[in-house]
Amino acid sequence: MNLRRFPAAGLLVLLAACGGSDTPATPSSPAPSASATPTPVPTATPNPFAAACGNPLPAFADSYGFGTKVQLQPTRNRMVLNTQPQIRNATYCQAVGIPGLICNTRREDDPTRVPCDHYMSGISDTGRPGPNWFEEVNGHLVRCGGVGGVPDDAPHCHLKPENQYLVDVTAGGQYVACGGIGAPQTCGGCLLDDSLFGQFNPTTAGLCQLS
């Protein structure tokens, strides 16, 4: 391009447009950024049953459902079932003084037995620690109730008001205990023959068959 063809004033305009000015540019100040407030992490609530159970604490991964037996037969047409959570871990069983592959959470005379059972059983639909109970009716599990607002849906089983681990049954059938809220969702059952009702049985041992 022949610059001599442009007047001097035009040349100054051209130089200014191409950045020829020697006036320094004023830097723009960055916009202040709002500092984010960190969201507080909620503190985990310790399980009171775990703390009361102590050491060794049974592991949820070792839950082997529930072991159920006939506790007693108060009348010819009523039996009381009793259940306890079971642990399948030979090392744990040895540590609590019950040698074998499968055991209760503690020995019967151990003062930590109750909180250990509660830890492995969770909170039932009644709001009490212990398992939920069911009767199998036409292939479906129907809740045993009558306590804590739980409807008496099942025809032949009724919760005991004094203890969630006990249930009254009035006929033969399949009865099942399952872990509640905050515990492993494992179950264990008891199968009773109809012929056991209507008479007093000399012993309750062996009446409750594994389901």
How far separated are the first and last CA of the chain, in Å rounded?
A: 101
Of 58, 45, 68, nearest to 187 by C-alpha is 68
- Per the confidence metrics, is the pTM higher than 0.75? yes
pLDDT digits (tens, 9 = 90+) for 83-107: 999 999 999 999 999 999 999 999 9
Non-local (6+) Cβ contacts of 82 within 8 A are 68, 69, 70, 71, 165, 166
Statement: residue 172 has pLDDT above 50: yes
Of 63, 68, 87, nearest to 209 by C-alpha is 68
Torsion-angle region of residue 182: left (phi > 0), alpha (psi -120 to 50) or beta? left
Statement: residue 12 has pLDDT above 60: no
Confidence of residue 45 (pLDDT cuts 50, 70, 90): confident
Here the tokens at position 7 are 């007047």
pLDDT digits (tens, 9 = 90+) for 109-163: 999 999 999 999 999 999 999 999 999 999 999 999 999 999 999 999 999 999 9
DSSP annotation of 84 reads E
pLDDT, residue 13, reads: 35
φ/ψ (deg, to 5) at 161? -65, -25
